[in-house]
Amino acid sequence: MVSGYNVIERLHSIVDARRLLERGLRRVAPSEEVVGIDNALGRVSSRDVYSPMDVPPHDRSVLDGYAARWRDISTASEEAPAVLRVKGRIEIDDPSTYEIGPGESYEVATGSPMPRGADVVVPIEHASPQDGLVYVYKPFPGGYGVSTRGEDLKQGEKVLERGDLVSEWHVGVLASIGVGGVSVWSRLSVGIVSTGQELIEPGEEYRQGKVYASTGRLAASYLRARGVDARYLGVLPDDEAVIRGFILDNVGKFDVIMTTGGTSVGKKDAAIRALASVAEDLIHGLALTPGRPGAIGIVHGKPVMALSGMPVAAISELIAVWDPVYRSLLGRSRPWEPVLKARMARQYSSHPGMVNVVRTRTCIGPRGLIAEPLRVTGSGILSTLVKANSILIVPEDVTGIEEGEEVEVLLTGHLEVCMG
Amino acid sequence: MVSGYNVIERLHSIVDARRLLERGLRRVAPSEEVVGIDNALGRVSSRDVYSPMDVPPHDRSVLDGYAARWRDISTASEEAPAVLRVKGRIEIDDPSTYEIGPGESYEVATGSPMPRGADVVVPIEHASPQDGLVYVYKPFPGGYGVSTRGEDLKQGEKVLERGDLVSEWHVGVLASIGVGGVSVWSRLSVGIVSTGQELIEPGEEYRQGKVYASTGRLAASYLRARGVDARYLGVLPDDEAVIRGFILDNVGKFDVIMTTGGTSVGKKDAAIRALASVAEDLIHGLALTPGRPGAIGIVHGKPVMALSGMPVAAISELIAVWDPVYRSLLGRSRPWEPVLKARMARQYSSHPGMVNVVRTRTCIGPRGLIAEPLRVTGSGILSTLVKANSILIVPEDVTGIEEGEEVEVLLTGHLEVCMG
């Protein structure tokens, strides 16, 4: 036994871990800011947005042609064309105050407001104008070529929800209803450092006994893909004083500090001892697999997460502890990933009393989706994050899942058709 | 008839349209650049990357505990514990040159190389060290607590493919195999302008007869989400000379110019006339629905796309013409979106001789995926891009699709379980 903190006395429930993280995160909670829609792609909306208007705001033509009454052209043929009087032309930016009566029409362009009384547009290719008249040789169904008021969006319809990641489609819809700026959450800043004597940086030559530092980078890019301003700051040695110095120096510069590695109970597990020595509050040891050695501390009121050094364990800690708290802060109820219902391909025994984060391969079978838990030894198996296309979170009170039982998985990759 | 170019004489096949665009794009083809993996998220890989090493590079422990021979502990129990001699401790960064014989063990940490001869790790919680010995009270299966050499990745295994969008998981995997920089394609720059007398900018007050400019922004964010450096440059009036001036001024500043609106055959369709007046080569009128009025021209050797003013038609032109050419330039064979096989919920009649881009709602039914084409009037129905979660592209030689027929759709949104 070395002196100082290095024992996981008991495992803490994920609920307690989330609660402690939330206490810290509430202090650094993101604020709202308004950004122009041209800069909103990939930001997280902080408010519901409703359409202030009907789209289109009036019936309009979706073709170049002649606006007419369906009754007047419903029996038109090559032999007996309908003949309509052309009252003039309605341009796209004309007001919607025109009107036609029986036997009348207006020339319209794509986007022109429909004249009152008209309920069909005869395409220009099927109409012959001559001497103020137009000849129609073919009938068209009522409503043909017309987009009706509010058909696209009704006034008051929700177009963006609090907590939505703003997509390219949202940008288009917001522009079309005249919304030039949108309220989004400021980005939380997270500073991430890897710890470990054995770590070398990618690009350096491989040496016996060394390991390339990947977990800190993986955590940083996981967070960045979910709207966080995460910065990877490099590697620190297994030195309690150095890591403590890093935490104290940076706790003022970032909203959140994360370390990876050195959270277990080995002699060199300096990160957890450094955190324990300065934390006002600490939870170490999570009822989570993988991710058991993770820790959450509060330093100067701010949250510090000591993530596992094993990449998959670190991601598991982010998925099970960080993400629900972060999402609730943003008012987002759904996970970032699509949630799919699937049936288990085989029986799965979970670690009792622990939240299990299970990498699964979900595919489309003849009778719906099938989720197959991947057989993996340890939490170091980084490639399974790419090979798996989904994640199953098994709550602590579930001891096992039967073959064929329905589960919900988070889709992290591409769905494919089941083989064989 | 106004003078000058304003007629779609015949519809051009999508293949011809792609060929002309490709001729222009080849001239401004993206170049390769190497970026650090910390800046690679969301970029498009320009080369296949293979693992230069096995991961892990040697058998290693995934637990804190005692490395042992399975035979020595396979019958251990509370009553008859296995007793092993502890030869010492192997640290994470020690070389993998240790060895044990019968009745021996080493203390190991999470990540330590396994000593030769050992094939199991007894977790520290289930082992009692005393006077140079360790007592084991419980058997563990062979391989327990061990991650074997190459289990995660084999040397020579492909970890990133040419044309892949670099994800957060790729960044982690690349780091773990020591790859510090990755070859990516430079971003194509695209300058986009909307044209139309009737357009006002979002944020301005709505006025009768006006339309908020949304198509240019939608196109810009569609492209940006796919790795293009697309910039939306604002609104121009329906003035052939002004639009021509814009094209000539900007063709040197961007790899590609796009306009939206003014491509139809109405009197004010200035964009197509401006493009026609300066294009060395021009295709106007596409066998595509929606998206018929689209045009592609070559100006000073560079591609200029005149997209429809209707948002959905513009996206259809990007999906059917731009995207396949752009992807082939990047060496990417698959679409950006997941491709799913689904069965048609109902019969669909397509416009004969044209490529049909159909918005569909795909859901998970009891017997697999079901794709339902949305009933929509016109190409102005922007909200369907959000309401639809998938897109079906029907080739020009297909006249219709039967109910129940299998199709491939591109997944653009979230999959849900079918209602009712």
A110 falls in which pLDDT band (50, 70, 90)? Answer: confident
Average pLDDT, integer, range A297-312: 94
With 60 as the cut, is the pLDDT of residue B374 above it?
yes
The pLDDT of residue B4 is 44
**A400 DSSP 8-state letter:** E
CA dist list (Å): B311 to A342, B216, B290, B316: 35, 8, 10, 9
> Are the C-beta atoms of A119 and A74 separated by less than 8 Å?
no
Which of B139, B147, B99 is closest to B123 using CA atoms?
B139
For B262, counting Cβ atoms within 10 Å of its Cβ (0-12 exposed, 13-18 middle, 19+ buried), the class is buried
Partner-chain contact B180 A203, CB within 8 Å:
yes
Read off the tokens for B389.
Answer: 């979660």
For the stretch A35-78, pLDDT in tens is 999 899 889 999 999 999 998 888 989 888 999 999 999 999 99
Question: What percentage of chain B exceeds 90 in pLDDT?
Answer: 65
With 50 as the cut, is the pLDDT of residue A3 above it?
no
With 60 as the cut, is the pLDDT of residue A265 above it?
yes
Beta strand B146-147 pairing with B60-61:
antiparallel
Partner-chain contact A221 B168, CB within 8 Å:
yes
For the stretch A363-399, pLDDT in tens is 887 777 899 998 665 555 666 666 788 999 999 999 8
Q: Which residues in A lie closer than 8 A to residue B173 (C-beta atoms)?
A: 214, 382-383, 385-386
Read off the tokens for B16.
Answer: 């011809």
The pLDDT of residue B6 is 46
Q: For residue A327, give the H/E element and its range.
A: helix A323-330
Gap between the Cα atoms of A309 and A290, Å rounded: 11
Higher-confidence residue of B378 and A61: namely A61
The pLDDT of residue B115 is 96
The pLDDT of residue B211 is 87
Gap between the Cα atoms of B348 and A353, Å rounded: 52
Helix axes B270-278, B240-250, angle to 10 degrees: 50
Partner-chain contact B383 A153, CB within 8 Å:
yes
Question: What percentage of chain B exceeds 70 in pLDDT?
Answer: 94
Q: Which residues in B lie closer than 8 A to residue A378 (C-beta atoms)?
A: 62, 145-147
Gap between the Cα atoms of A132 and A87, Å rounded: 8
The pLDDT of residue B52 is 93
Read off the tokens for A217.
Answer: 């980078």
Q: Which residues in A lie closer than 8 A to residue B232 (C-beta atoms)?
A: 38
With 50 as the cut, is the pLDDT of residue A1 above it?
no
* Candidates B151, B176, B209; nearest CB to A93: B209
Average pLDDT, integer, range A219-231: 91
With 50 as the cut, is the pLDDT of residue A142 above it?
yes
Gap between the Cα atoms of B333 and A418, Å rounded: 21
* Candidates A173, A196, A377; nearest CB to B386: A173
The pLDDT of residue A119 is 95
**Total number of residues shown for chain A:** 420
With 60 as the cut, is the pLDDT of residue B378 above it?
no
Helix axes A215-224, B168-176, angle to 10 degrees: 170
Average pLDDT, chain B: 90
Beta strand A368-373 pairing with A416-417:
unpaired
Partner-chain contact B147 A381, CB within 8 Å:
yes
Question: What percentage of chain A exceeds 70 in pLDDT?
Answer: 94
The pLDDT of residue A4 is 44
For the stretch B169-223, pLDDT in tens is 888 889 989 999 999 999 999 999 999 988 999 989 988 888 899 999 999 989 9
With 80 as the cut, is the pLDDT of residue A247 above it?
yes
Partner-chain contact B92 A211, CB within 8 Å:
yes
The pLDDT of residue B109 is 86
The pLDDT of residue B114 is 95
Q: What is the SS3 assignment for A73?
A: helix
Domains, in order of start, for chain A: 14-30+187-330 (3.40.980.10), 39-55+152-185 (3.90.105.10), 60-147 (2.170.190.11), 339-417 (2.40.340.10)
Average pLDDT, integer, range B235-257: 96
For the stretch B29-72, pLDDT in tens is 899 999 999 899 889 999 999 999 998 888 989 888 999 999 99
The pLDDT of residue B377 is 53
Q: Give the best-scoring range by mean pLDDT among A106-120, A365-379, B368-382.
A: A106-120
For the stretch B308-351, pLDDT in tens is 988 889 999 999 999 999 999 999 988 988 888 899 999 998 88
Partner-chain contact A202 B222, CB within 8 Å:
no
